[in-house]
């Protein structure tokens, strides 16, 4: 495993979790368990949303790993607007019950990062890739392959967190960002990649192999 140990509850959720537990405890003490039950359920939801378990990294330098937990909603030829090239796009939709930490799909160097303000449409819609708030990374592998990894905000997600920038090196499975409360990640890959997943499949960040580079 790489990039561990780190907290099993994502640091992005600590203050949400602390506030929800404090409020539930207060209501529990003042009004009793029945009144506090909805608040305990909210605290439990927040706890599961911000979980961030360790993930083993599969062997194989040419493997492209899933950058997020979720369901594959698109595998299609597409124009990569960030690198102005023809590409194969793989889109992964994260619902509120998925782990929302984002992880590097390949080993490589971050060549560029873009942030684009936009709307907050349902992330499952195809037009979300073009219209929603998003943050894109251009990663170049040691073999010279270009991979674009795009964090896309969703209907409820209002904040995209990305912790890396140009010049930084990423290892496959390395935690590099987080999106709060439902979203998607788009991968733009070289057209000649060998796809390892299908539309509708559930994938898990780092442990699932979504494609193989040529």
Tell me: do 90 and 131 sit in the same domain: yes
Q: Which domain holds residue 29?
A: 11-49
**Same domain, residue pair 42 and 67:** no
Length of the chain in residues, anyone?
A: 214
User: For 103-126, what is the mean pLDDT?
Assistant: 81
Query: pTM for this structure?
Result: 0.83
**Over the stretch 48-68, which tens digit does the pLDDT of each residue have?**
788 888 888 998 889 999 999
Domain assignment present for 152: yes
Q: Where are the beta strands (DSSP E) in 81-182?
A: 85-94, 101-103, 108-116, 134-140, 146-153, 160-162, 169-170, 175-179
Residues annotated catalytic, as ranges:
183
Backbone angle region of 58, left / alpha / beta, with phi > 0 → left and psi within -120 to 50 → alpha: beta
Output the CA–CA distances (angstroms, integers) from residue 171 to 64, 103, 137, 143, 202, in the order listed.
Answer: 11, 9, 14, 14, 23
In a domain, 163, yes or no: yes
Residue 127: per-residue pLDDT: 66
Assess if residue 5 is contained within a domain.
no
């Amino acid at each position: 495993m790489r990039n561990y140990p780190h907290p099993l509850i994502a640091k992005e959720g600590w203050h949400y979790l602390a506030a929800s537990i404090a409020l539930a405890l207060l209501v529990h003490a003042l009004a009793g368990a029945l009144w506090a039950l909805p608040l305990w359920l909210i605290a439990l939801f927040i706890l599961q949303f911000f979980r961030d378990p360790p993930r083993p990294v599969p062997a194989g330098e040419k493997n492209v790993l899933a950058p997020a937990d979720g369901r594959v909603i698109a595998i299609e030829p597409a124009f990569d607007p960030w690198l102005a090239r023809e590409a194969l796009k793989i889109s992964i939709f994260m619902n509120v019950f998925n782990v929302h930490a984002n992880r590097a799909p390949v080993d490589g160097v971050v060549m560029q990062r873009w942030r684009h303000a936009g709307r907050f449409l349902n992330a499952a819609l195809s037009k979300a890739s073009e219209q929603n708030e998003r943050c894109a990374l251009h990663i170049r592998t040691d073999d010279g392959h270009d991979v674009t990894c795009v964090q896309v905000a969703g209907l409820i997600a209002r904040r995209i967190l990305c912790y890396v920038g140009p010049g930084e090196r990423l290892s496959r499975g390395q935690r590099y960002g987080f999106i709060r409360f439902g979203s998607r990640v788009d991968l733009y890959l070289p057209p000649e990649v060998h796809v390892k997943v299908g539309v509708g499949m559930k994938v898990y960040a780092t442990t699932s192999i979504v494609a193989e580079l040529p």
